[in-house]
Structure 1
């Protein structure tokens, strides 16, 4: 499994969980009309729940998907630069492409998942 496949699977799981929570709970954390679900005087656990509302989690999943796409684009740019320089020094240096490093960083948020590969750890 590649870091991309791993991340897209975890993002899909997060989306399913958020949608199920939104349907089961009947709330998206904004019941008081505020954008983040906070009232200003609520307890920390309530603020935490509001910040991780299904609506916010789904928005974060969308952002993560776009970051995965941008990481591929960054790697493509790196490869183009290497080809233009007619060098393969990067492959021999052990320095990863920028996009690959981005994917590995994103994957660390799921390091407790059984499919996480420790070789991805930055």
Structure 2
């Protein structure tokens, strides 16, 4: 699995979970969850489904930009190019962007340790 396929799959998963949670809260007169802890309530509000969906869309745009920055064909497997770029230039930045975007998913079984920065 290439890093780009991995990222697309994780974004699809995030979108699916957030969309399902958004459906639960649609039409409710009050929030479906409550807590006495202000810090926890702030966290729950911050990660509401609508925000996650917006972040998924933003990350998809960043993924497209990273593809473009590598200078490679978007339909090709980018694994062969990761780490092989000079430490300067747009292509190097594109490779690093892809690796950075994969970092939050490092605990996933499909994550490849070769992608670590």
TM-score, normalised via structure 1 length: 0.71
Cα distance in structure 2, aligned partners of 1:91 and 1:119: 12
Tell me: CA distance 1:93–1:54, structure 2 relative to 1, closer, same or farther (3 Å). closer
- Distance apart, 1:113 and its partner CA: 0.3
Q: 1:45 aligns with which of 36, 40, 46?
A: 40
**Partner in structure 2 of residue 23 of structure 1:** 23
Paired residues in the alignment total 97
> Which structure is richer in relative contact order (CA contacts within 8 A, separation 6 or more)?
2
Q: 1:115 aligns with which of 95, 110, 117?
A: 110
Q: Secondary structure at the match of 1:97?
A: helix
Cα distance in structure 2, aligned partners of 1:48 and 1:69: 29
User: For 1:70-101, what per-residue CA distance to the aligned partner results, in whole angstroms no more than 9, with x for missing partners?
Assistant: 00111119xxxxxxxxxxxx948688721111
**Partner in structure 2 of residue 68 of structure 1:** 63
Which entry has the higher C-alpha Rg, 1 or 2?
A: 1
TM-score, normalised via structure 2 length: 0.73
